[in-house]
Structures are given as structure tokens and as C-alpha cells.
Amino acid sequence: MAQEQKQPRRSSESEESTTEVTETDVAERKEALDDDVDAILDEIDDVLETNAEDFVKSFIQKGGE
């Protein structure tokens, strides 16, 4: 992967397409990010205790130290 990153960007791509490419990139990245967030939350949903209210109410501790 380190090698891949070291490859210089090809400069043959025309200047005029730069802005367009950037916008598409941002949109794609945002979409990928949203998918990523969905994936995390789906995974967390699967393991979260089912009745949040009951669980929180019954988590009672005594002071310590």
C-alpha cells in the first residue's frame, strides 16, 4: 500500500475536468462515509441490550474506593 501511495499522480488528466472530478469525489466519499456509519450502527444495533429503559434503570451501583 505504501508503494501505491508513492506513485505520482498522473498529470495527463486535463485541467478542466478537475472541478467536476472533485465534486464527484466528495459525493462518493460522503456516500461511502454514510454507508460506513450505517454499517457501524447496524453492527451495534445487533449487540445493544434490548430494553434500554429497563437496563439503564436497573444498573445500580454502590459507591466504592
Partner 1 sequence: MSVRRVMGTEIEYGISVVGQPMANPMVASSQVVNAYASATVRARRARWDFEEESPLRDARGFDMSRQVADPSQLTDEDLGLANVILTNGARLYVDHAHPEYSTPEVTSPLDVVRWEKAGDLVMLDAQRRAAQLPGGTAIVCYKNNTDGKGASYGAHENYLMRRATPFGDVVRHLTPFFVSRPVVAGAGRVGIGQDGRTRGFQISQRADFFEVEVGLETTLKRPIINTRDEPHADPEKYRRLHVIVGDANLAEVSTYLKVGTTSLVLAMIEDRFITTDLTVEGPVAGLRAISHDPTLRQTITLTDGRTVTGVQLQWEYLDLARKYVEDRYGSDADAQTLDVLARWESVLDRLERDPMLCAGELDWVAKLKLLEQYRQRDGLGWDDAKLALIDLQYADIRPEKGLYHRLAGAGRIERLLDDDAVEGAMHDPPTDTRAYFRGRCLEKFSSSVAAASWDSVIFDLPGRESLQRVPTIDPLRGSRAHVGDLLDSCESAEALVAALTR
| Contact residues for partner 1, defined by CB under 8 A | 37-38, 40-41, 43-44, 47-49, 52-53, 55-65
Least distance (Å) from partner 1 to the CB of residue 2?
18
User: Which of 27, 48 has the CB closer to partner 1?
Assistant: 48
DSSP three-state, residue 3: helix
DSSP letter assigned to residue 65: -
Least distance (Å) from partner 1 to the CB of residue 57?
8
Count the helix, strand and coil residues of the chain and give each as a percent rounded to the nearest 5: 70, 0, 30
User: Which of 8, 63 has the CB closer to partner 1?
Assistant: 63
Residue 22: all three cell numbers together = 472533485
